[in-house]
Structure 1
């Protein structure tokens, strides 16, 4: 097993870039840091390329840094399981696409207010980043629209989400050619959502490949603003559309033909959710059922 002090010096040097800053950060002498790196390189081979203004990781160095990250994640997991896994107080981190978070975040705040000692950290991210955040243990739980195939992730049905095709209220939009003429307002999950909805509504069409993109925003609350101004159409979840402040300026095309999909709650499969995270999930489920 590699000496933890050596690994700490190595990972700090990789982050800081120089022996001087590393020694200051760890409150060690530069000689001590150099000795730790020499010990590691004796066993593993060259880890850094020394340059006048700093260091650069070798391929072996990158591999060792990944190992350090794995050790750190395992340590955090162990500490969580042993110290406070059964406690309701503490932090629960959750990451969701913006469209989901728009409806769930107010409910999460209600849960936190009702549970003394609980701290909820919520972050918006595109679905690919949701998966990565949970896999990297930066988030306890995430919500995605497709069940992941990665065996490292446990997934359970969370709720249903209706996708809608939203157009300007005054636009003369009835079919595919009208959508092509109007153009698409994109957002971080827009391409995936539009592909799923359009493929079912208009089988045989090439989807977004034939539709010009006429706008983009990563702010979920603002996605429908360009639609309301006649600049294009978009595809988004019903609850996000209902939150728009100017409903009179938009309309749902074929409102009776929403595409309903299952959302999945994910977490690392190797260990059970802490009690406080499970409490948040169950409380959120209960609120969504009421709605």
Structure 2
């Protein structure tokens, strides 16, 4: 049986890589850190190698650290089982890309108002950060626009989201020349989204680089403000557009072809969703009238 205090000290030391800083972090003396490491090394052999200011784990140290991580995973699973009845109280974390997040966050707040014991944590992030946040267990649920191929993640279709060509309410787009005259309001994913949609709607066009750029914003919640003021057009996802407050000032142009993305719900593969997470997912699917291709 491994002393849990010694194991906690070893984990902290493997992160801090310094005996003094580890002692300060744990609120103990440096001598106590050294003594606990000696006790562990009597059980498992050399765990750390020190070369000047550098510190490295030995194979035995790596194995012990992996053991601690496996114990933490097992404890998380146990906690989920013990709190199975607590579907409407406790903490739930969800991280999503910007467009779907704009639609989901008000719905999540509605749910929290219905269940005062529920604590909602929501974060906006690009796809790569969504994956990392779920893999690192900082958030139980993630929504991303690309299906991950990491075996540690379970992915299921959450909803579909079309790209939309959005113009000022008093404008009409009939040709590429109309786009040139209006000008493009760019955003971080603007060029790729515009290329995907406009290349199909206007085949043979000279490309997005031929359009004058009349503005840029990296805030998806503010992106449609210049369009509402008649300063240009943009291409962005459906949920970002419907979250804009001033709908009467903008217009979605009907296009001859559509480009529709799949949004994927992800969580860790190794353990089932908590009852809280299942409740939230069910509520969001119903609120969005989602068509689910693959069950959770």
TM-score (norm 2): 0.76
Q: 1:6 to 1:104 in 2, by over 3 A?
A: same
Quote the residue 1:287 is aligned against: 287
CA distance in 1, matches of 2:67, 2:230: 52
Quote the residue 1:87 is aligned against: 86
Could you say what secondary structure the match of 1:220 adopts? coil
Q: 1:2 to 1:198 in 2, by over 3 A?
A: farther
Q: 1:120 to 1:207 in 2, by over 3 A?
A: farther
- Structure 1 residue 70 displacement after superposition: 3.7
Quote the residue 2:118 is aligned against: 118
Could you say what secondary structure the match of 1:270 adopts? coil
Quote the residue 1:137 is aligned against: 137
CA distance in 1, matches of 2:36, 2:203: 62
- Structure 1 residue 29 displacement after superposition: 1.6
Quote the residue 1:157 is aligned against: 157
- Structure 1 residue 132 displacement after superposition: 1.8
Q: Which moved more, 1:11-20 or 1:28-37?
A: 11-20
RMSD, aligned α-carbons: 3.8
1:96·1:125 contact (CA, 8 Å) conserved in 2?
A: yes
Q: 1:140 to 1:150 in 2, by over 3 A?
A: same
Count of paired positions: 283
Q: Which moved more, 1:244-253 or 1:156-165?
A: 244-253
- Structure 1 residue 151 displacement after superposition: 2.5
Matches within 5 A, 1:1-291: 4-13=4-13, 15-16=15-16, 18-37=18-37, 43-46=46-49, 49-51=51-53, 56=54, 58=56, 64=62, 67=66, 70-71=69-70, 74-75=73-74, 77-88=76-87, 89-169=89-169, 173-176=173-176, 179=179, 182-187=183-188, 189-190=189-190, 193-202=193-202, 215-229=215-229, 232-254=232-254, 257-289=257-289
Q: 1:184 to 1:218 in 2, by over 3 A?
A: closer
> Relative to total residues, which structure has the larger helix share, 1 or 2?
1
Could you say what secondary structure the match of 2:76 adopts? helix
Q: Which protein shows a greater Rg?
A: 2
The runs of 5 or more residues in structure 1 that have no matched partner are: none
1:185·1:226 contact (CA, 8 Å) conserved in 2?
A: no
- Structure 1 residue 105 displacement after superposition: 1.2
- Structure 1 residue 164 displacement after superposition: 0.5
The runs of 5 or more residues in structure 2 that have no matched partner are: 291-296
Q: Which moved more, 1:169-178 or 1:244-253?
A: 169-178
- Structure 1 residue 145 displacement after superposition: 2.3
- Structure 1 residue 130 displacement after superposition: 1.3
1:11·1:68 contact (CA, 8 Å) conserved in 2?
A: no
